[in-house]
A and B are shown apart, each in its own frame.
Chain A
Amino acid sequence: MIKGIVPSLVLFLAVALAAVPWALPAAAAFILPLLLIIFVFVLAMLQKSELPAVPVFAAGLLMDVLTAGPLGYWAVIFLLTHTLAGVYSRRTRQKRFTNLWLAFAATAAVAAIFGWALASIYFVRIIDWQPMFIGGAVAIALFPLIAWPVRHLLGLVPAARFSRQG
């Protein structure tokens, strides 16, 4: 029971930490929210049953409240990441780390493009694409640094199996 709620708690904690003022430059506005999709992807893909869609949606809503954006924006992006992670998890049995990273790169790219398109539709004008895509690229680059400790600290995957395959 306790193990079951740990992934959700980790995700909510990550959302709270992503919203606090870290004194990042204005151009880096997208980096922290897009780093959160690493948590969604890793937690959802490895033990999907332990991170259902509802807490992912709620974490996205919390992000919307904390970032003063429209309600539903990050909720839908997180949900999309969760769905894509689920699709990859169902279709692939061999979860080598390189493959996982590639799958995340594709997911992050889709999430960034979707986020940019959704924001453009919301504003009814084409918004600047660069910050969103820089955020996506940073998330892809930092994936190993966040994914590896999250997987092992939470004990979601036996460490020996992971290191042998990765």
Chain B
Amino acid sequence: MLFTLYFIGVTLLVLSRLENSQIREIRGLLTDLVSPVLQVASQPAIYARRSKEQLVDYLDLFDELDRLKEENQNLRHWQWQAKRLERRLVQYRKLLSAVEEPALKFATGPVIADARGPFARSVLINLGKANGVRNGYAVINRDGFVGRIVHSGDNASRAILLNDLNSRIPVLVGPAAVRAVLVGDNSARPRLEFLPNSAKVYEGDEVSTSGHGGLLPRGLRIGAVVPGSGNAYRVRPHATLGELEYVSVLFFDTPVVIARDAPAGGKERTLSQREEKLQTQARGKLHAKAGTQAR
């Protein structure tokens, strides 16, 4: 019996390594099954984290008040600047006859499990296909981009974080918008790779998604450049990836996303097309009949 279990374990490991599709389906099914249990189990963790945050907030109350007053003063200045730039932008758009970009829709949900161990840096989110989530959608929190959906179940979805070993994000670096690829290596700070030889990158430069490849929206803030070993650069994400509580999934439908994850309502769509065809035929017959009557 024990030997059989060891054999099954090793076989599952080998099949997982070979990325067997059935294993992926079983994993998705099990994730959906356990997500309600996890949602309940995560409540003590959420409560503990909130209590800790409240305690820290209470201890820092007076310092925080001073900081907020100063920040408010700065923000008033930026608000004035933003309004001025917004007005100018409207004028420029009119001059260019530019088409308005549609606003991104999103859904927000809690993180109910996060990955531990040597393999993945990912989180399980309590949002699934039922909420409109699809594979490939970007995941953000209040601090910026954190990852993307790799498996959307009916009620829960798995998102790999930007520091995961399999994560490759096309990015723009610094004010010169230098193109690069942000490569995860399971460490807290992913690497910047494929920088052009002549590129000038400095510590503290902002890094954001470039939108190249058509999977992610352009301009989602990621983090700041920090020096790595040798001549390499790494990125310190703005979001604390180990402490994600609530995240938002951006519904950014591009041909790439649609090709990778076809809409769940495929049958429904075919049916409505057929219905539409029948309705058109019926309308045609009705018009023909009306025409005959008129004659």
Contact = CB atoms under 8 A, between A and B. Distances in A.
Q: DSSP class of A's interface residues: helix, strand, loop or mixed?
A: helix
Interface of B: 1-2, 5-6, 8-13, 15-17, 23, 26-27, 30-31, 34, 37-38, 41-42, 44-46, 48-49, 52, 111-124, 158, 160, 163, 187-188, 241-245
Given A21-B123, A23-B243, A70-B12, A119 B118 contact: yes
A69 B5 contact: no
A76 interface: yes
Given A22-B48, A26-B242, A66-B34, A71 B120 contact: no
Contacts of A70: 12-13, 16-17, 119
Contacts of B114: 19-21
Given A20-B45, A21-B42, A65-B31, A73 B113 contact: no
Given A72-B13, A76-B13, A66 B242 contact: no
Contacts of B52: 23
A81 to B, nearest CB: 13
Q: Is the interface of B mostly helix, strand, loop or mixed?
A: helix
Contacts of B23: 71
A126 to B, nearest CB: 12
A148 interface: no
A71 B13 contact: yes
Contacts of B34: 16, 62, 65-66
A59 B2 CA distance: 15
Contacts, number: 150
Given A16-B41, A23-B245, A70-B119, 20 more contacts: A13-B41, A17-B44, A20-B113, A21-B113, A21-B244, A23-B52, A24-B242, A30-B117, A57-B5, A62-B30, A65-B27, A66-B38, A67-B113, A68-B158, A71-B15, A71-B27, A72-B10, A73-B117, A119-B117, A131-B118
Contact of B241 (A26, A31, A132): A26
A20 to B, nearest CB: 4
A75 B6 CA distance: 9
Interface in A23-41: 23-27, 29-33
Given A65-B30, A71-B27, A132 B118 contact: yes
29 contacts: A16-B34, A16-B38, A17-B45, A19-B116, A21-B112, A21-B245, A23-B242, A23-B245, A30-B116, A32-B116, A61-B12, A65-B27, A65-B31, A66-B31, A66-B34, A67-B117, A68-B124, A69-B115, A71-B26, A72-B10, A72-B13, A74-B117, A75-B5, A76-B9, A79-B2, A79-B5, A83-B2, A119-B117, A119-B118
Contacts of B188: 26-27
Contacts of B6: 76, 79
A53 interface: yes
Nearest to B35: A66
A54 B8 CA distance: 11
A147 to B, nearest CB: 21
User: What are the nearest 3 A-B pairs in CB distance?
Assistant: A70-B16, A72-B12, A69-B119
A67 B41 contact: no
B197 to A, nearest CB: 28
Contacts of B46: 21
